[in-house]
Amino acid sequence: MEMDTIAAISTPMGEGAIAIVRLSGVDAIPIADRLFNGVGGKRLIEVASHTIHYGHLNDPKTGQVVEEVMVSVMKGPKTFTKEDVVEINCHGGIVSVNRVLQLVLRSGARLAEPGEFTKRAFLNGRIDLSQAEAVMDLIRAKTDKAMNMALGQMEGRLSRLIQRLRQEILEVLAQVEVNIDYPEYDDVEEMTHKMMKEKAQYVRVEISKLLQTSQQGKILREGLSTVIVGRPNVGKSSLLNSLVQENKAIVTDIPGTTRDVIEEYVNVRGVPLRLLDTAGIRETEDIVERIGVERSRQVLKEADLILLVLNYSDELTKEDENLFEAIEGMDVIIIVNKTDLPQKIDLERVQQLAQGRKVVTTSLLEDQGVDQLEEAIAAIFFGGQIEAKDVTYVSNSRHIALLHQSLQAIEDVLEGVELGTPIDIIQIDMTRTWELLGEIIGDTVHESLINQLFSQFCLGK
Cα–Cα dist 448/399, whole Å: 17
| CA distances in angstroms from 324 to 279, 317, 330, listed in the order given | 17, 11, 10
What pLDDT was estimated at residue 403?
A: 92
Residues 6+ apart with CB under 8 A from 195: 172, 175, 176, 179
Sheet containing 36-38, strands listed edge to edge, beginning at the edge strand earlier in sequence: 36-38, 51-58, 65-74, 85-92, 16-24, 6-9, 110-111
Per-residue confidence (pLDDT) for residue 8, from 0 to 100: 93
Tell me what pLDDT residue 50 has.
95
pLDDT of residue 20: 94
Decide: pTM greater than 0.75: no
How many angstroms from the chain centroid is the CA of residue 256?
34
Task: Kindly give the pairing relationship between strand 65-74 and strand 51-58.
Answer: antiparallel
Length of the chain: 461
Cβ(433)–Cβ(206) below 8 Å? no
Predicted local distance difference test score (pLDDT) of residue 249: 39
In 51-87, which positions are buried (b, 16+ CB within 10 angstroms) versus exposed (e)?
eebebebbeeeeeeebbebebbbbbbeebbbbbbbbb
Cβ-contact 202, 410 below 8 angstroms: no
Cβ atoms 260, 292 nearer than 8 A: yes
CB of 322 closer than 8 Å to CB of 296: no
Average pLDDT per consecutive 10 residues, the chain (461 residues; last block may be shorter): 85 86 95 90 91 93 91 94 95 90 94 89 85 73 66 78 91 78 58 86 91 74 78 79 57 38 67 66 45 56 82 85 80 88 86 85 84 82 52 76 93 91 88 92 73 69 67
Q: How far apart are the first and last CA of the chain?
A: 22
Burial 381-410 (b: 16+ CB within 10 A, else e): bbeeebeeeebbbbbbeebbebbebbbebb
360 CB-near residues (< 8 Å, 6+ apart) = 333, 334, 335, 336, 369, 372, 373, 376
What's the pLDDT score for residue 292? 46
What the chain holds in terms of domains, given with CATH numbers, is: 6-112 (3.30.1360.120), 131-213+394-454 (1.20.120.430), 223-386 (3.40.50.300)
Instruction: List, in sequence order, the alpha helices (H) in 277-343.
Output: 287-302, 318-326
**352 to each of 188, 322, 345, 356, how far by Cα in Å?**
64, 14, 13, 8
- Cβ distance 90 to 68 under 8 Å? yes
Which amino acid is it at 104? V
Q: List the one residue out of 255, 261, 342 whose CA is nearest residue 303.
A: 261
Any idea what DSSP says for residue 383? T
Q: For 182-261, where are the E strands, in sequence order?
A: 224-230
Decide: 457 and 430 in contact? Cβ < 8 Å: no
Q: What is the pLDDT of residue 259?
A: 36
CB 372 within 8 A of CB 363: no
Handedness of CA 144, 150, 153, 155 (dihedral sign): negative
Per-residue CA distances from 22 to 26, 29, 59, 81, 277 (Å): 13, 11, 18, 11, 40
Give the model's pLDDT for residue 248: 41
Q: Which of helix, strand or coil describes residue 202?
A: helix
Residue 260's pLDDT is 42
User: What local confidence, expressed as pLDDT, does residue 228 receive?
Assistant: 83
Upstream peptide bond of 77 is cis (omega within 30 degrees of 0): yes
The dihedral region occupied by 427, where left means phi > 0, alpha psi between -120 and 50, and beta the remainder, is alpha
Q: State how far the Cα of 59 lies from the Cα of 197, in Å rounded to an integer.
A: 69
